[in-house]
Amino acid sequence: MVVNITFVRHAQGTHNVDALIHGDSAYEFPIHKDASITEKGKQQAIASRKKIENINFDYILCSSSRRCRQTLELVYPDSINSEVYLFDYLMEPQGKHICNQRDRKEKIIKEHPNWNWSFAFEDSHFENNTKEESEEDFLNRIKLFIEYLKNNFDNKNLLIVTHYTWIKKFSEIYLGKQIELENVGILNVTI
């Protein structure tokens, strides 16, 4: 089984900017719940279009977080009217930072009526969830997701928009080294 994946890290988010000033505590600021991308982030995503515009993707998968959805719309504009599969499995570790809690499904479905929510958790999974996802659980979530890809997307080209920590841990597990992408950084891999 071979799956070709183009990973894109989300564009600069409001939480990323505040973290430069306030450190990791910025990730807990209520204003950053399901953080949006900044104006600079929008420009980053638009500038990165050229890096993927000539790739024919069979499927588009995206973290359900706002900053990933916004990045996808800008870096790959065809996604707006395409079927995009939203995966909560692609989200950052849960329970520690409010910036990693997504909006309610109902709100996101209104924004993206063509996108597929079959792989999203129930809203209750995120609401008032103060239990921090362990490192082991997070790594298992990544491994389960990759096994799902291998079993369901053989010989396909995938575009996946996700997060810094997700890509860093994926690369550590499957490539034997941690790859730390900048905002809207791109990583092409075959698994």
Note the pTM of the prediction, 2 decimals: 0.93
Total domains, the chain: 1
Distance CA 106, CA 131 (A): 24
Question: Are the C-beta atoms of residues 6 and 167 closer than 8 Å to each other?
Answer: no
Provide the pLDDT for residue 126.
56
Provide the pLDDT for residue 94.
85
For residue 16, give both structure tokens: 């990323």
Name the band, by pLDDT with cuts 50, 70 and 90, for residue 129: low
Domain hosting residue 175, numbered range: 3-190
β 186-190/3-9 pair status: antiparallel
Q: What is the CATH number of the domain that holds 88?
A: 3.40.50.1240
Distance CA 10, CA 122 (A): 23
Instruction: Provide the residue type at 3 as one letter.
Output: V
Provide the pLDDT for residue 65.
94
Name the band, by pLDDT with cuts 50, 70 and 90, for residue 119: confident
Mean pLDDT across the stretch 103-127?
Answer: 79
Rg (CA), the chain: 16
Question: What does each C-alpha distance from 110 to 61, 101, 103, 151 come to in angstroms?
Answer: 18, 18, 12, 31
Question: Are the C-beta atoms of residues 10 and 163 closer than 8 Å to each other?
Answer: yes
Instruction: Provide the residue type at 12 as one letter.
Output: Q
Question: 7: helix, coil or strand?
Answer: strand
DSSP string, 97-148: -GGGPPPPHHHHHHH-TTSEEEEPPPGGGTTT--SPPPHHHHHHHHHHHHHH
